[in-house]
Amino acid sequence: MSERLKTTTQELVIDGASCASCVNKIERALKELPNVDNAEMNFALRLVTVTGQTSSDHLINTIEAIGYQAKVVTDTSDGDLLDEKEIAEQKHYKKLIMQMSAGLGLGIPLMIYSLLGGPMTVDTTLERGIWLFVGLLCAAVMFFAGKHFYIGAYKSFINHSANMDTLIALGTGTAWLYSMIVVIFPLALPEMARHVYFEATAMIIGLINLGLALEVKARGRTSEAIKRLIGLQAKTARVVREHNGSKQEIDIAIEQVLLNDIVRIRPGEKIPVDGTVIEGHSSVDESMLTGEPMPVEKSIGDNIVAGTLNKSGSLLFNATRVGKDTALAQIINMVKRAQNSKPPIGRLADIISAYFVPAIMIIAIISALAWLNFGPNPAIAYAVISATTVLIIACPCALGLATPMSVMVGVGKAAEAGVLIRNGEAMQTASKITTMILDKTGTITEGMPKVTDIIIVNDAYSEDYILKLAASLEANSEHPLAQAIVDSAKAQDIELSAVTEFRTIAGLGVEAKYQQQSLAFGNQKLMLTNNVALNNFATQAQHLAEEAKTPMFFTIDNKLAAIIAVSDPIKEDSIAAINRLKGNGIRVVMLTGDNKATAKAVAKKVGISEYFAEVLPEHKSQKVAELQAQGEIVGMTGDGINDAPALALANVGFAIGTGTDVAIESADITLMRGSLHGLADAIAISKATLTNIKQNLFGAFIYNAAGVPFAAGVLYPFFGLLLSPVIAGAAMAFSSLTVVSNANRLRFFKPQEY
């Protein structure tokens, strides 16, 4: 293949050009390249347009060599591609409908004539003349409406392969050729066999085109989910750029947004690229990506994601991920890939379809031979009909469509619910999970400990005062629970004070001095060490622990002042979601690094009977292996970062996200929203999809397994029944339609939430 490049116009976005002189520098460098005709740069847009015969890589290298960054503006965004695809599909559909009309236009009148008992014979010269004319008309229909079948059949034939086209071409060709022989050389055939089948040829071509047209329509609907995701992408962005020495806000195409651009987003606008808020405050609707209906508050320092909707306020943000790197682009990419991947269950159909068409050809020949050898007169006519019908009724399409159609819909459906499935295999395995391991922190619970109870022992102190002292003390500590106390104080706008002589007593707590008072904060062991009398507050503390809370004791001058309980609250809907899992017959196991008492309490609260406490992070994968050794198909749900090895080892790893901040690459299935309902949804959708695939495969197999013998005429010896080739044509057209429609039924699947 020659490497010559055509003269093209390419657009490159330049990064790092900060002054007008850069423009000259870049333009000159590009123009100096051989084969570059012109290079022009639009400074405001940071866009350089190059005409010439040079590859984009070469251009980028040149620009990088003089100290800037550049990237190609891809002129076809996903949205454009999709539009193009739709237009192409629409055109294809119209063409098929035209071809169908031609086929049926000739076929239906002929068929009505034959059904009304009109003679299809060639006894007189007039009849021969009329049928010759009809035969030629039929040939014209074959050419206009069925050309693609014959060309396809021929092309695959010379490539030693065979497909649906081969069967249709052979079937209709046989019927037409036989009829033409009847018309032109009637004497070559026994009198009883002189019967024409032009109506079959025309009808079959019409019906199969109809089937294909309906399939195009139904197929379009299966990609609704991806259309919706692509539709989330904004077309333009308003960026703040320096122009003629002053900062200006300009609207530019989304492809031209650069990393670290400052982007303005107004109320009601779609967020164009991923970024970090640097100014303003607003609530953002992320439901389109996470399935989480509540808008999320965003202010300085928060991350926002492309495709989500800014509701109330105006924001200024720094673009951190643009183009193909945004979370939305990655999601679209992943859904697309997954939609086109095939679960192992589909491989059987693939193997069969590889041998299918030649096998059907052989069956057709055998059937014809059987009729010729054992059939009643006119044997030759029966042989031709049965061979034609066998060829036409066999539908490799239904087999081939069975799996991909359902996967398309299922993966899309999951994406709508905020569940990203990596591929078909993950989906199939997820549908068979017998044991689900849930990590406690961040999966069942929020992952962010909060102060739940403050019990004041000495009424001389107010709650605010206690919290102020405790937080001032804990502000010095690095213990994870300490943060909860500090946060709690901050949330109530309590100002912290400085403490002196702070020290940590490992495993017990902390101590410090505040204005001559000595403060201590820690667990029950610390109280014992310090000989603090707990009286009946020990029982209260015990109660708190049983409620999955961690009680801590606060003393002032070695006297118990308060008990502060901290807990990592269980997510609101964890219990319901775990019940859904159990309702599906899945064994649910909890894993945590926490102490046994808390683990037990949490497990009890959410209704999990099996749990492993005090499991070190590195031992989590061991537990997965242990359960797998028991013959379980294990799903593991965790945050995708700390639990990565366990997720990888599990049969299916589920990474649970908080909002859109997810490591998409880390798991087989990614749950965009934090709720465990996403997990139950993922399994429910996987199951529904697999059931759908099985229905499709069963339908397609049964259809072929039953249709082909009927067509060959196995019923004839018993009932005198032989299928007409026209019925076979209709059946073939509608078999693939049935499969596509059944797959479309999945679109209405709703995971049950309770």
Q: Which stretch binds another protein (CB under 8 A): 131-139, 175-183, 369-377, 712-720?
A: 369-377
51 to 90: interface string for another protein, x by CB under 8 A: -------------------------x----x--xx--xx-
User: What's the closest the beta carbon of residue 157 comes to another protein, in angstroms?
Assistant: 8
| 694 binding another protein? (CB under 8 A) | no
Q: What is the largest CA-CA distance in the chain?
A: 127
468 to 507: interface string for another protein, x by CB under 8 A: ----------------------------------------
Give the C-alpha separation, 435 to 39, whole Å.
Answer: 62
Give the C-alpha separation, 549 to 553, whole Å.
Answer: 13
Which residues ranging from 84 to 113 are in contact with another protein (CB under 8 A)?
84-85, 88-89, 91-92, 95
| 177 binding another protein? (CB under 8 A) | no
| 16 binding another protein? (CB under 8 A) | no
- Run of H or E residues at 512: strand 509-514
**Closest residue by Cα to residue 313 from 278, 360, 281, 271:** 281
594 to 633: interface string for another protein, x by CB under 8 A: ----------------------------------------
User: What's the closest the beta carbon of residue 197 comes to another protein, in angstroms?
Assistant: 20
Which residues ranging from 397 to 426 are in contact with another protein (CB under 8 A)?
397, 400-401, 404
| 219 binding another protein? (CB under 8 A) | yes
Say how many Å lie between the first and final Cα of the chain, rounded.
61
| 427 binding another protein? (CB under 8 A) | no
Report the residue number, 373 or 500, with the smaller CB distance to another protein. 373
User: What's the closest the beta carbon of residue 340 comes to another protein, in angstroms?
Assistant: 4
263, 240 Cβ separation under 8 angstroms: yes
| 163 binding another protein? (CB under 8 A) | yes
Read off the tokens for 78: 């996903």
Does the CA dihedral 330-333-336-342 come out positive or negative? Answer: negative
User: What's the closest the beta carbon of residue 401 comes to another protein, in angstroms?
Assistant: 6
Report the residue number, 219 or 270, with the smaller CB distance to another protein. 219
Query: Where does 232-344 have alpha helices with state H?
Result: 287-290, 327-339
559 to 598: interface string for another protein, x by CB under 8 A: ----------------------------------------
Which residues ranging from 325 to 364 are in contact with another protein (CB under 8 A)?
336-337, 340-342, 350, 353-355, 357-358, 361-362
Report the residue number, 401 or 586, with the smaller CB distance to another protein. 401
Give the C-alpha separation, 590 to 611, whole Å.
Answer: 4
| 161 binding another protein? (CB under 8 A) | yes
Report the residue number, 305 or 407, with the smaller CB distance to another protein. 407
111 to 150: interface string for another protein, x by CB under 8 A: -------------------------------------x--
Give the C-alpha separation, 340 to 274, whole Å.
Answer: 27
378 prior amide bond cis, ω within 30: yes
Q: For the chain, give me the number of helices (H) and strands (E)?
A: 24, 26
Report the residue number, 26 or 399, with the smaller CB distance to another protein. 399
In the block, residue with structure tokens 């099985």? 694
Read off the tokens for 258: 């650069």
At a CB cut-off of 8 Å and minimum separation 6, what does 165 contact?
Answer: 148, 149, 150, 151, 152, 153, 156
For 304-329, give the DSSP string.
Answer: E-TT-EE-SS-EEEEEEE-GGGSHHH
Give the C-alpha separation, 606 to 343, whole Å.
Answer: 33
User: What's the closest the beta carbon of residue 587 comes to another protein, in angstroms?
Assistant: 32
SS3 567: strand
User: What's the closest the beta carbon of residue 127 comes to another protein, in angstroms?
Assistant: 29
Report CA 372 to chain centroid distance, whole Å. Answer: 54
Report the residue number, 91 or 543, with the smaller CB distance to another protein. 91
**Closest residue by Cα to residue 227 from 412, 373, 359:** 412
For 173-224, give the DSSP string.
Answer: HHHHHHHHHHHH-GGGS-GGG----HHHHHHHHHHHHHHHHHHHHHHHHHTH
Read off the tokens for 36: 């570059």
260: alpha, beta or left, given left = phi > 0 and alpha = psi -120 to 50? left
Task: Single out the residue of 160, 246, 293, 301 in contact with another protein (rule: CB under 8 A).
Answer: 160
643 to 682: interface string for another protein, x by CB under 8 A: ----------------------------------------
Give the C-alpha separation, 398 to 697, whole Å.
Answer: 8
Question: Judged by CB under 8 A, how many residues of this single chain contact another protein?
Answer: 54
| 376 binding another protein? (CB under 8 A) | no
Report the residue number, 373 or 515, with the smaller CB distance to another protein. 373
| 752 binding another protein? (CB under 8 A) | no
User: What's the closest the beta carbon of residue 76 comes to another protein, in angstroms?
Assistant: 7
| Cα dihedral value 60, 63, 68, 74, nearest 10 | -30
Q: Which residue in the list 439, 639, 643, 668 is annotated as catalytic? A: 439
At a CB cut-off of 8 Å and minimum separation 6, what does 569 contact?
Answer: 445, 446, 450, 452
User: What's the closest the beta carbon of residue 337 comes to another protein, in angstroms?
Assistant: 6
User: What's the closest the beta carbon of residue 358 comes to another protein, in angstroms?
Assistant: 4
Task: Single out the residue of 151, 188, 625, 706 in contact with another protein (rule: CB under 8 A).
Answer: 151
User: What's the closest the beta carbon of residue 638 comes to another protein, in angstroms?
Assistant: 24
Read off the tokens for 719: 């009932």
At a CB cut-off of 8 Å and minimum separation 6, what does 413 contact?
Answer: 225, 685, 689, 746, 747, 749
Report the residue number, 206 or 400, with the smaller CB distance to another protein. 400
Report the residue number, 201 or 209, with the smaller CB distance to another protein. 209
User: Is residue 439 flagged as an active site residue?
Assistant: yes
The b/e string for 629-661 (b: 16+ C-beta within 10 A; e otherwise) is eeebbbbbbbbbeebbbbbebbbbbbbbbbbbe
Report the residue number, 143 or 754, with the smaller CB distance to another protein. 143
Give the C-alpha separation, 411 to 685, whole Å.
Answer: 8
At a CB cut-off of 8 Å and minimum separation 6, what does 388 contact?
Answer: 171, 172, 174, 175, 197, 200, 725, 728
User: What's the closest the beta carbon of residue 29 comes to another protein, in angstroms?
Assistant: 26
User: What's the closest the beta carbon of residue 85 comes to another protein, in angstroms?
Assistant: 7
Pairing of β 315-321 and β 274-280: antiparallel
Task: Single out the residue of 373, 515, 531, 752 in contact with another protein (rule: CB under 8 A).
Answer: 373
Report the residue number, 167 or 602, with the smaller CB distance to another protein. 167
Does the CA dihedral 181-182-187-188 come out positive or negative? Answer: positive
User: What's the closest the beta carbon of residue 395 comes to another protein, in angstroms?
Assistant: 12
Report the residue number, 42 or 161, with the smaller CB distance to another protein. 161
Report the residue number, 347 or 543, with the smaller CB distance to another protein. 347
Q: Which stretch binds another protein (CB under 8 A): 131-139, 160-168, 615-623, 661-669?
A: 160-168
Which residues ranging from 188 to 217 are in contact with another protein (CB under 8 A)?
212, 215-216
| 369 binding another protein? (CB under 8 A) | yes
Interface residues with another protein (CB under 8 A)?
A: 1, 3, 76, 81, 84-85, 88-89, 91-92, 95, 148, 151-157, 159-165, 212, 215-216, 219, 336-337, 340-342, 350, 353-355, 357-358, 361-362, 365-366, 368-369, 372-373, 396-397, 400-401, 404
List active site positions: 439
